[in-house]
């Protein structure tokens, strides 16, 4: 009998409301033209991070400050870079990836 170990990455689907459904190419275009859609998108990402902090605090029964020191301008640039590298994705994917990176940085301290 031969056994093999296979690394499997598991992702769950989740309902996305509002600006999270904004495509990455549309986000990049809004960033370049500095439209109101850019600001509503950033507000959505900030709300997403707040929601992740809320859920993290509930799950761990402890404070959660993911992204607390992240400046809005840095977030805008990070999301733009992510979207340029992943044009098939949506703002919600970029926000999720940002939170994952912020958690990794927090945990490495």
Answer whether 0.85 is exceeded by the pTM: no
Domain residues for the domain of 41 are: 18-107
In a domain, 102, yes or no: yes
| Calpha distance 84→35 (Å, rounded) | 18
**Of 100, 65, 96, 94, residue with least CA distance to 78:** 94
Give the total number of structural domains in the chain.
1
In a domain, 25, yes or no: yes
- Determine contact, residues 99/48, Cβ cutoff 8 Å: yes
In a domain, 13, yes or no: no
In a domain, 10, yes or no: no
**Of 20, 9, 87, residue with least CA distance to 52:** 20
Q: Which two tokens stand for residue 93?
A: 């994917």
* DSSP β-bridge partners for residue 90: 23
Q: What is the mean pLDDT of each run of 10 residues along the chain (109 residues)?
A: 42 74 95 94 94 88 83 94 97 94 82
In a domain, 4, yes or no: no
Q: Which two tokens stand for residue 13?
A: 């689907």
pLDDT of residue 16: 83
Residue 17, burial from CB neighbour count under 10 angstroms (0-12, 13-18, 19+)? exposed
């Amino acid at each position: 009998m031969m056994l093999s170990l296979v690394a499997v990455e598991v992702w769950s689907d989740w309902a996305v409301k509002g600006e999270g459904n904004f495509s990455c190419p549309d986000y990049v275009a809004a960033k370049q033209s500095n439209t109101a859609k850019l600001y509503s998108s950033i507000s959505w990402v900030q709300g997403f991070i707040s929601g992740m902090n809320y859920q993290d605090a509930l799950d761990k029964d402890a404070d959660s400050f993911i992204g607390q020191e992240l400046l809005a301008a840095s977030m805008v640039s990070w999301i733009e870079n992510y979207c340029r590298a992943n044009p098939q994705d949506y703002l919600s994917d970029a926000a999720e990836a940002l939170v994952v990176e912020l958690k990794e940085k927090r945990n490495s301290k």
